[in-house]
Structure 1
Amino acid sequence: MTDDDRGTRRGEIGPTERLAMNRTGSFDWDLDTGTIDVDEAGLLVFGMGAGAFDGRPATLVQALAPEDRADLDAVIRHAIITGQTSYTAHFRVDMEDGTPQWTHVQARILRKPDGMAHRIVGIVRDTTAEVTHSDFVLELERRREVQTSIVERTTHALSRAVTVDDVTAALTGPGGLARLGADGLALGLVENGSLNLIALSGESLEILDDFRSRRLDRGLPLAEAVLSGRPRFVPAFPALGRDFPELAPYVARMRFRAACYLPLVAQARSLGGMALFYRGRTAFSADERNLALGLAAIVAQSLQRALLFDEERALATGLQETMLPRRIPEITGGEIAVRYHAAWSGRQVGGDWYDVIPLPRGRVGIVVGDVQGHDTHAAAIMGQLRIALRAYAGEGHAPSTVLARASRFLAELDTNRFATCTYAQVDLSGGTVRAVRAGHLDPLIRHTDGRVGRPKLRGGLPLGLATVFGEEEFPETRLDLVPGETLVLHTDGLVEQPGADIEAGLAALADAVRTGPPQAEALADHLSERLWERWGAEDDVALLVLRRSPDPGTPRAPRIHQYIHQADPQGLSDARAAVGQALRDWDMDDLADDAELLTGELLVNVLLHTEGGAVLTLEVLPEPVRRVRLSVQDRSSAWPRRRTPGEAATSGRGLLLLDALSSRWGVEPRGEGKAVWCEIGPVPTPAGAPST
């Protein structure tokens, strides 16, 4: 009696039965005869009965798909040819009822002494349950990876959001819906008892524009979620109209199959609600519900930070704006534009300011400055300093005196803060600018020929520090604005960025001034748009643009303005001819010869004794006595000196000619060098021109 018989007789299950019950069988394949012996359990794994099997391997695998048979054959051939002693294979067998069954084969190859394979013995096993469970686990893992990715990508996108606009851009911009794993989104904020939709994204959702601002009640699903504080999951979206009749006409036009309405709550404060819409979903698993709630929590926290930032920014901007002048006075002979931008840093109020001050005799004072620090104390000091400087300027003091007194005022405030600024008195009727600087950046001038210069203003220490160190000297620098030229004053926030070279910012500003529109308002907008977000987003910016009106060339005060390049040999002759022709056109023939001669002398002095070109200005001064003024400006700091030439000398007589032919002359420092000028006259008033 065998062990199996004894075990069966005692009611026990033998090894063969145990294997069969687990759908595991065996086979013995004789390679010499080409027949294979498979036990009953093995045949069941292949989906056939004992009576239907003829012992041929091809019959055994006929239920396999052709590609699976080819793969199995390739595995066996490779194992036999390469001398392996075993192989495994995994393939699918379609049963008679059409259900798929996964089968695993594990075989051992028996070889003769010469290495030739002659038998293969092994087992076959039904692994459908294992594969199904594995697929379930893999699918579950895939879903968890997708959910984790949604949370991580959404969190990363919202981590960079500062304002409410940034939050909505992260949710509705490129890739926003994909990050949320949704096909549509509606975002609403609670404000004064209303639910205001601030973002809609997704095809067909534009029809919800009718609900942009609604009283907060239970007539809509999103409002209900906000009021109740509980989410609402809608797996059958078309049925939503039954519960919310007001929404029913819109549901049929919205191409979604499911939706969820989520309250946005942060620190026990109800901020609003978020709705997510789906096209391919008809149910919400527990994991999917938890994911939606997690996304709502992330969005709520981001919105809370953004709302707080927007409130602080509005407070800071409002405080700063109250310190700045409410109205810019109108000026005659030019146009002024001012801009102020607060930093993108919450309550970090800055001390930047600008001002335009009407002065006696038709002049105007302009100032741009910056108090040290970024807090409310800096803003308060700025307000006091601006008013004090305005008062000193309005009293008619010289620019150097205005800054000296302002420095003393700041020092007497008993604060550790200092301030930098540039102040200038401008006479637009003649184009004269008397500028002083206290530790501030130099201004820029855009000339009528498109060049942009940065005149070097002589200056002193910052306000406050100048008084502390007993250095209240603020030397003036004279600049001339010809008709059509533009003066640009600014604070460092427009050109400076932490970690970057300020020269790069100054170069970018000069290029923007050069390429910008001529009008003051348009140029101010151009500079703000191009540079503030690039350089000044982390600091306050004050900007002032002053443009002298283009001169129409009236007989009362005609003018020409010309640049002579040092490398242009014809430029000197052309300049002399232009001066003579202009005076003849203006009915001043008596002065034409003298003016031509003096033009040549002044230009020759520049072209021979400096390393650059010259700017020639010829104008008729209308008051108090009508006369001609000739000016030549260069970039050299060396002043002309009087010499006594001998009889045979060929140079040195230029200043003698100035003395002889002009009524008066002089030399003035300019921001980029000096200007030698002379006046010829008086001249008679031409017929038909207004008398002076």
Structure 2
Amino acid sequence: MRTGDPLPAVGDVLAALATGLWHWDTATGQVTVDAEAARLLGLPEERATVTEAQIRARLHPVDWNETTGVVQLAVAEGTLAEVRIRVMDERGHVVRVVRSRSLPSFDKVSKAYELVGTLQEVTDPTPGTAAGRSAVTGDWRRSREAFLLDAGRALAEARSTEEVLRVAAGLSMPGFSPDGLAVFGVTGDRLHLIGHHGQPQDEINPFLQMSLETDYPAAEVIRTGRAVYLASPEQYRSRYPLTWPLAERFGRRSWAFLPLTVAGSTMGAWMAGFAYPVAFTPDERSVLTTVARLLAQALSRAGAAETQRELSEGLQRTMLPLLGPEIPGMDLAARYVPTGGGLQVGGDWYDMIPLPGGRFALVIGDVQGHDVRAAGLMGQLRIALRAYAAEGHRPDAVLSRASRFFHGIGDSAEDPGDHRFATCFYAEVDPATGTVESARAGHLDPVVRMADGTALIRATAGGLPLGIDPDTDYPTTRLALEPGDTLMLCTDGLVETGGHDLQTGWERLQVVLDEYPGELEELADALVQAVLGPSSHHTTGPLADRREDDVAVLLLRRRAEDCGCGDNTLARAPVRRTMLTVAQAEPERIGTARRHLRDLLHDWPDEEQRDSAVLLLSEMLTNVLVHTDTDALLVAEVTGRPGERRIRVEVTDNGDDLPHKRRPGEMASSGRGLMLIELLADNWGVAPRGEGKSIWYEVYESAAGPEPAAPEPA
């Protein structure tokens, strides 16, 4: 070209330099290539617009993943993206290596990349040839070290045998790469194929169950523990004439069979097949040997993890029961989430036991510890509880017998000082009436979520955990589930996970119980997710998702339609009710009663009325404990629609003396109870109850409530 002549078009210059142009827009998912770029990618040699999937099918999967990472880094740094890519044919064989250079841009609105770049063939010598080996001699050691570091990291992160094989199939060794691989294991006296890559599925049948005595390289490697290198088909044919016809059909030129050794024992063999001749120099053998060791360790870890998962799932299926057949008028849901490590089993459990007469028992408990022994003790205790329940014993007798049983098996034969105990909550339910009779052994109190979403911790009588004192008594507590009420039983892992104590953990769960409108199964999921997050599972989860304690939760709901008063009655006039016994020996339960009442009035708009109601309750219960020698029974309920509700509180005792108003002096320490009730309540009264009496008061949410009645005569 002479000076002054017009410059040729850019496309002509690039074509003369065997360089192709391409344009990739991830927003549309389309790639535009010119004729040269199409040729380099193995497409018809003409300008075309194709999809990402068509381009991806032509590129080595490892290089495709590397390209996306390089592009993201180039955008972040504002530089060119340069990467070497292997182009493959329809059979998956590498036909050429191209260098891609592009200038990427990123649209923050559409979250899409746009790249304009060039493709040029890399004219390196053919891998495996003398020229190819001499070309990479200068940086062989550097590339080998980088490759082995990457391979070791990738294999260490693989969690299953399938994932290990997938990583192994994607390894690109420096200077030479196999186009096929197979991993063999040993079962008894036979060779079996664990996995393969690069061989058609319909041509692997002869390798599936092969005797270790067969004249086959992999069998010899397992028998002797020494690698076999076959640099040419002639070597293969001469050394293994009987099995050469099996290998000949794949058309390979070189083979390496290496032992997979763990802790000095050969667990299998790895075959790497090459489509071109490989001399297997000392450096090449060193790389293959190192990869075989990494592969053996990865397969051993993956196999152990899979065995552990199978054992864990089997233990869970055995120890955690199905909730049984459908119960008329009742819905059940349960979740069990083990700690994140170990065998994924522990001491937490739940159970549902059918009883005569249509009744059933719910059990939830926690054996001390998170190990195999805790799981074994849990299984024995669960069987014992089922047996005692089947004998027809009441809840208190079931737990008393279970405590004596567990006291006898709680000691460890290996470590006499390792004595285990277990907490347990046992409840017998009558579906026809909604009555629940329960006994508690050191376990958390149950929670009742009422039809309108109000949730209360129901204080129940209890005894020591099972196994501590074989002669402990377990008093029973009765409560009634109203139509639409939900009973929640759980272990402490649901409450105390995440650094929470019982109080703050309960407040976290109360938000879910108060606000979640879903079905029972959805509520169970919401409770677990509120504690463990959405990545957690009903059973086992990833080992990285470690948890502090096992979690078990059991939900029982009495269906609202069983009230016999129409589908919308509960929505029109919900009822909240709580009952509590305050014994003479348990004055601290007055505080529990105050909390119950505040929970009932959690959405009461007038704070002064709430405080007044709680004050009057405290005064009434204190009077019973101070002026009588009997226990107090509290019944509190909220009725009516919002804006027109009424709180009625009634305290009953067996004392003979009826209360009467007094006029205490300024310095008197008592005698103001009825004066406070008369002053703060909208309505109140005292009524004889056979042996004993009850005193009650009512507070109305608005002036629309009924007119206060004259107090009943004392």
TM-score (norm 2): 0.50
Q: Aligned to 2:166, which of 163, 167, 172?
A: 172
The corresponding residue for 1:455 is 457
Q: Aligned to 1:145, which of 137, 142, 147?
A: 142
CA distance in 1, matches of 2:694, 2:421: 41
CA distance in 2, matches of 1:206, 1:611: 79
Alpha-carbon offset, residue 401 of structure 1: 4.8
User: What SS does the corresponding residue of 2:258 show, helix, strand or coil?
Assistant: strand
Deviations 1:216-264 (A, max 9, x none): 2458765564456443445568998996433544x26xxx876533332
Give the direction of change, closer, same or farther, for the CA distance of 1:153–1:167 in structure 2 (3 Å limit).
farther
User: What SS does the corresponding residue of 2:290 show, helix, strand or coil?
Assistant: helix
Matched letter for residue 266 of structure 2:
S
Q: Aligned to 1:288, which of 266, 270, 284?
A: 284
CA distance in 2, matches of 1:638, 1:631: 6
Q: Aligned to 2:638, which of 606, 610, 632?
A: 632
The corresponding residue for 2:428 is 425
CA distance in 1, matches of 2:407, 2:426: 18
CA distance in 2, matches of 1:323, 1:228: 44
User: What SS does the corresponding residue of 2:365 show, helix, strand or coil?
Assistant: strand
- The answer (yes or no) to whether the contact 1:200–1:206 under 8 Å persists in 2 is no
Alpha-carbon offset, residue 295 of structure 1: 1.7
- The reply to whether residue 216 of structure 1 matches residue 210 of structure 2 is yes
1:81-96 equivalences under 5 Å are none
User: What SS does the corresponding residue of 2:638 show, helix, strand or coil?
Assistant: strand
Alpha-carbon offset, residue 171 of structure 1: 4.8
- The answer (yes or no) to whether the contact 1:309–1:346 under 8 Å persists in 2 is no
- The answer (yes or no) to whether the contact 2:192–2:210 under 8 Å persists in 1 is no
CA distance in 2, matches of 1:276, 1:447: 66
The corresponding residue for 2:403 is 407
- The answer (yes or no) to whether the contact 1:496–1:505 under 8 Å persists in 2 is yes
Give the direction of change, closer, same or farther, for the CA distance of 1:334–1:606 in structure 2 (3 Å limit).
same
The corresponding residue for 1:301 is 297
Matched letter for residue 214 of structure 1:
L
The corresponding residue for 2:354 is 358
Give the direction of change, closer, same or farther, for the CA distance of 1:291–1:156 in structure 2 (3 Å limit).
same
Give the direction of change, closer, same or farther, for the CA distance of 1:151–1:543 in structure 2 (3 Å limit).
same
Give the direction of change, closer, same or farther, for the CA distance of 1:377–1:219 in structure 2 (3 Å limit).
same
- The reply to whether residue 467 of structure 1 matches residue 469 of structure 2 is yes
Give the direction of change, closer, same or farther, for the CA distance of 1:213–1:604 in structure 2 (3 Å limit).
closer
The corresponding residue for 1:478 is 479
- The reply to whether residue 560 of structure 1 matches residue 563 of structure 2 is no
The corresponding residue for 1:62 is none
The corresponding residue for 2:109 is none
CA distance in 2, matches of 1:222, 1:348: 36
Deviations 1:401-429 (A, max 9, x none): 54344334433546321112232222333
CA distance in 2, matches of 1:244, 1:300: 26
Give the direction of change, closer, same or farther, for the CA distance of 1:419–1:239 in structure 2 (3 Å limit).
same
Matched letter for residue 360 of structure 2:
V
Give the direction of change, closer, same or farther, for the CA distance of 1:461–1:575 in structure 2 (3 Å limit).
closer
CA distance in 1, matches of 2:154, 2:187: 25
Identity %: 31
- The answer (yes or no) to whether the contact 1:355–1:368 under 8 Å persists in 2 is yes
1:155-166 equivalences under 5 Å are 155-159=152-156, 165-166=159-160
Deviations 1:50-100 (A, max 9, x none): xxxxxxxxxxxxxxxxxxxxxxxxxxxxxxxxxxxxxxxxxxxxxxxxxxx
Give the direction of change, closer, same or farther, for the CA distance of 1:605–1:170 in structure 2 (3 Å limit).
closer
User: What SS does the corresponding residue of 1:262 show, helix, strand or coil?
Assistant: strand
Root mean square deviation of aligned Cα: 5.8
- The answer (yes or no) to whether the contact 1:329–1:358 under 8 Å persists in 2 is no
CA distance in 1, matches of 2:509, 2:218: 49
1:480-495 equivalences under 5 Å are 480=481, 482-483=483-484, 487-492=487-492
Alpha-carbon offset, residue 367 of structure 1: 1.0
Which ranges of structure 2 fall in alignment gaps of 5 or more residues?
1-132, 412-418, 529-535, 576-599, 614-634, 641-645, 652-658, 662-673, 697-714
Matched letter for residue 246 of structure 1:
L
User: What SS does the corresponding residue of 2:328 show, helix, strand or coil?
Assistant: coil
CA distance in 1, matches of 2:602, 2:377: 52
1:177-196 equivalences under 5 Å are 177=171, 185-196=181-192
1:181-580 equivalences under 5 Å are 185-200=181-196, 205=199, 207=201, 210-211=204-205, 214-217=208-211, 218=214, 222=218, 225-226=221-222, 229-233=225-229, 244-249=244-249, 251=250, 260-276=256-272, 282-308=278-304, 310-311=306-307, 314=310, 328=324, 331-337=327-333, 350-413=346-409, 415=411, 416-441=419-444, 451=453, 453=455, 455=457, 457-458=459-460, 460=462, 462-464=464-466, 467=469, 472=473, 476=477, 478=479, 480=481, 482-483=483-484, 487-492=487-492, 501=500, 518=519, 520=521, 529=537, 532-533=540-541, 541=550, 543=552, 545-548=554-557, 550-552=559-561, 560-562=569-571, 575=573
Give the direction of change, closer, same or farther, for the CA distance of 1:156–1:210 in structure 2 (3 Å limit).
same
- The answer (yes or no) to whether the contact 2:229–2:255 under 8 Å persists in 1 is yes
Which deviates more, 269-278 or 219-228?
219-228
Deviations 1:331-380 (A, max 9, x none): 33334455656666556863333221223442211112121124454344
TM-score (norm 1): 0.51
Matched letter for residue 423 of structure 2:
T
Alpha-carbon offset, residue 434 of structure 1: 4.0
Residues paired across the two proteins, number: 465
- The answer (yes or no) to whether the contact 1:197–1:211 under 8 Å persists in 2 is no
User: What SS does the corresponding residue of 1:482 show, helix, strand or coil?
Assistant: coil
Deviations 1:12-71 (A, max 9, x none): xxxxxxxxxxxxxxxxxxxxxxxxxxxxxxxxxxxxxxxxxxxxxxxxxxxxxxxxxxxx
- The answer (yes or no) to whether the contact 1:233–1:261 under 8 Å persists in 2 is yes
CA distance in 1, matches of 2:550, 2:365: 10
Alpha-carbon offset, residue 144 of structure 1: 2.0
User: What SS does the corresponding residue of 1:533 show, helix, strand or coil?
Assistant: coil
User: What SS does the corresponding residue of 2:185 show, helix, strand or coil?
Assistant: strand
- The answer (yes or no) to whether the contact 1:438–1:463 under 8 Å persists in 2 is yes
Deviations 1:528-549 (A, max 9, x none): 7268527975678464544446
CA distance in 2, matches of 1:193, 1:508: 58
- The answer (yes or no) to whether the contact 1:153–1:179 under 8 Å persists in 2 is no
Give the direction of change, closer, same or farther, for the CA distance of 1:341–1:292 in structure 2 (3 Å limit).
farther
Matched letter for residue 169 of structure 1:
E
Alpha-carbon offset, residue 631 of structure 1: 5.8
User: What SS does the corresponding residue of 2:257 show, helix, strand or coil?
Assistant: strand
CA distance in 2, matches of 1:318, 1:559: 45
CA distance in 2, matches of 1:198, 1:454: 56
User: What SS does the corresponding residue of 2:160 show, helix, strand or coil?
Assistant: helix
CA distance in 1, matches of 2:602, 2:143: 79
- The answer (yes or no) to whether the contact 1:439–1:459 under 8 Å persists in 2 is no
- The reply to whether residue 610 of structure 1 matches residue 619 of structure 2 is no
- The answer (yes or no) to whether the contact 1:337–1:521 under 8 Å persists in 2 is no
Give the direction of change, closer, same or farther, for the CA distance of 1:213–1:458 in structure 2 (3 Å limit).
farther
User: What SS does the corresponding residue of 1:216 show, helix, strand or coil?
Assistant: strand
Alpha-carbon offset, residue 386 of structure 1: 2.2
- The answer (yes or no) to whether the contact 1:436–1:474 under 8 Å persists in 2 is yes
